[in-house]
């Protein structure tokens, strides 16, 4: 389920940081030290308590760089700026940053995480300690040497909030007390999660600059999981889970969640690109070409997982006629700001196909703006059109690399659809 460690070491070497696990030990900082390099234990203050994560900073000839370590995923900061005792850890592609003050010996940071969101900015108190190697601190009241309960494997999960109940699949890998995994949902996944099992208590978290997730659960006498889920500073749900081998029927079919509303199964749209030029599906450049229309948001981590996959498919199949058009649905409605964020998304993932600003993130408004879908249930959503621009299929959501074999399976399915529409051209 988890990406091979050597791949991450390669990424880490490119970032000029060591390939350390978020549980690996590092000597405590010297009180007289003035460096900020090394491993840090960061904490966001959530309603569920400490939401911990591990990050690493390294000094280069061009300044400081760093990554957040979530299990087998390394998420880079877009920029690290140090000015006297003030530090900014930025995620420019998510319009997000941590701003903090450093203690005199530079072993402690205290500040705030801010991220632009749909209604109002996410704000969470932040602190960090250098040289503390663990993600979760020892659980209060836990007995030393207590054998952790086994929770590895697949789980049939239900999340419940004020809007109702949603199914999910828990995918866990356990090594002694250490626990890693994720949850697959009908529209995506909850990223690379990392944590531990102490006695009968499970704790998992992740932070990537866009999402801040904290999961806790206890295992009852019947072997069921009963827990809580906190997301950023505003969301809470409860969840239950039962161990299972077969997960095939737990989630709805992502290929059948959305329907076309036009009688002839054809679509059309016109939106401005990042330079303000109107681009339409009916433009000559797309005539007689198979097209993949991708609904996304630069703010959306699952979209960021999918983007390099689509960018690679475009490079591979564009010489055979494939066109891809990205329709962005952004948070603010501020055209200049939203175009800037889409450009960050494009540059981050090396995207060569056109990206258009189509509207804001509200899914009902997005469906209305498009006019040819019965609903939008997820970002991303991919619409596959043959060379005649008839709709061949629609896929909602994206299971990212944190889901392991399910990610590989989905990429294979998307590639098959691309090859199908490419073959629809005359002469193929």
pLDDT in tens, 305-316: 999 999 999 999
Domains of the chain by residue range: 5-130, 153-244, 270-422
* 270-422 CATH, one of 3.40.30.10, 3.40.50.460, 3.30.360.10, 3.20.20.140: 3.40.30.10
> Which residues face 165 on adjacent strands?
160
What pLDDT score was predicted for residue 26? 46
The pLDDT tens digits along the chain (428 residues) read: 444 443 444 344 444 444 444 444 444 554 445 789 999 999 999 999 999 999 999 999 989 999 999 988 999 999 999 999 999 999 999 999 999 999 999 999 999 999 988 778 899 999 999 998 799 998 877 665 678 999 999 999 999 999 999 999 999 999 999 999 999 999 999 999 999 999 999 999 999 999 999 999 999 999 999 999 999 888 999 999 999 999 989 999 999 999 999 988 889 999 999 999 999 999 999 999 999 999 999 999 899 999 999 999 999 999 999 999 999 999 989 999 999 999 999 999 999 999 999 999 999 999 999 999 999 999 999 999 999 999 999 999 999 999 999 999 999 999 999 999 999 886 55
CATH architecture of the domain with residue range 153-244:
Beta Barrel (2.40)
Please say whether the beta carbons of 397 and 253 come within 8 A: no
Q: Which residues fall within 8 angstroms of residue 402, CB to CB, at 6 or more apart?
A: 73, 181, 182, 189, 190, 191, 192, 193
Looking at CATH, the fold of the domain delimited by 5-130 is given as: Lipocalin (2.40.128)
Task: Give the long-range contacts of residues 245-249, CB within 8 A, separation 24 or more.
Answer: 245/153, 245/154, 247/154, 247/156, 247/169, 247/184
Q: Do domains 153-244 and 270-422 have the same CATH topology?
A: no
What does the angle CA 228 – CA 229 – CA 230 come to, to the nearest 5 degrees?
125
Q: What does the pLDDT look like over 129-145, one tens digit per residue? A: 999 879 999 887 766 56
CA 191, 192, 195, 196 torsion: positive or negative?
Answer: positive
> Which residues face 86 on adjacent strands?
83, 101
Its pTM stands at 0.88
Locate the DSSP E strands across 162-264.
164-175, 178-185, 188-189, 193-198, 201-207, 212-219, 225-231, 235-244
What pLDDT score was predicted for residue 424? 87
Q: Please tell me the distance from the alpha carbon of residue 222 to that of residue 112, in angstroms, as a whole number.
A: 41
What pLDDT score was predicted for residue 99? 98
What pLDDT score was predicted for residue 417? 98
């Amino acid at each position: 389920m988890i990406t091979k460690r050597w791949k991450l070491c390669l990424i880490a070497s490119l970032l000029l940081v060591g390939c350390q696990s978020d549980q690996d030990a590092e000597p405590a900082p010297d009180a007289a030290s003035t460096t900020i390099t090394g491993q840090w234990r960061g904490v966001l203050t959530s309603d569920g308590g400490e939401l911990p994560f591990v990050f690493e900073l390294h000094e280069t000839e061009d300044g400081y760089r760093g990554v957040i370590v979530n299990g087998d995923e390394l998420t880079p900061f877009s920029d690290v700026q140090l000015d006297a005792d003030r530090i900014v850890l930025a995620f420019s592609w998510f319009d997000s940053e941590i701003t903090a003050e450093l203690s005199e010996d530079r072993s402690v940071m205290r500040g705030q995480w801010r991220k632009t969101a749909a209604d109002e900015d996410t704000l969470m108190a932040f602190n960090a300690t250098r040289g503390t190697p663990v993600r979760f601190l020892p659980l209060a009241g836990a007995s030393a040497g207590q054998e952790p309960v086994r929770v590895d494997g697949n789980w049939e999960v239900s999340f419940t909030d004020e809007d109702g109940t949603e199914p999910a699949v828990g995918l866990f890998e356990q090594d002694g007390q250490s626990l890693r995994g994720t949850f697959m949902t009908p529209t995506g996944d909850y990223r690379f999660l990392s944590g531990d099992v102490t006695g009968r208590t499970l704790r998992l978290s992740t932070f990537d600059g866009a999402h801040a997730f904290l999961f806790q659960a206890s295992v009852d006498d019947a072997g069921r999981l009963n827990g809580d889920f906190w997301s950023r500073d505003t969301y809470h749900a409860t969840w239950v889970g039962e161990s299972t081998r077969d997960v095939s029927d737990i989630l709805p079919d992502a290929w059948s969640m959305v329907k076309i509303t036009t009688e002839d199964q054809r679509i059309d749209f016109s939106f401005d690109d990042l330079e303000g030029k109107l681009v339409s599906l009916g433009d000559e450049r797309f005539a007689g070409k198979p097209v993949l229309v991708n609904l996304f948001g630069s703010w959306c981590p699952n979209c960021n997982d999918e983007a390099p996959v689509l960018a690679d498919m475009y490079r591979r199949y564009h010489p055979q006629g494939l066109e891809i058009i990205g329709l962005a649905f952004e948070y603010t409605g501020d055209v200049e700001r939203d175009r800037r964020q889409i450009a960050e998304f494009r540059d981050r993932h090396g995207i060569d196909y056109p990206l258009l600003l189509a509207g804001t993130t509200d899914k009902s408004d997005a469906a209305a703006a498009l006019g040819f879908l019965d609903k939008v249930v997820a970002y991303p959503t991919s619409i596959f059109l043959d060379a005649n621009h008839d709709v061949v299929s629609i896929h909602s959501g994206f299971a990212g690399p944190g889901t392991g074999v399910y990610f590989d399976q989905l990429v294979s399915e998307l590639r098959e659809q691309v090859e199908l529409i490419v073959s629809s051209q005359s002469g193929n």
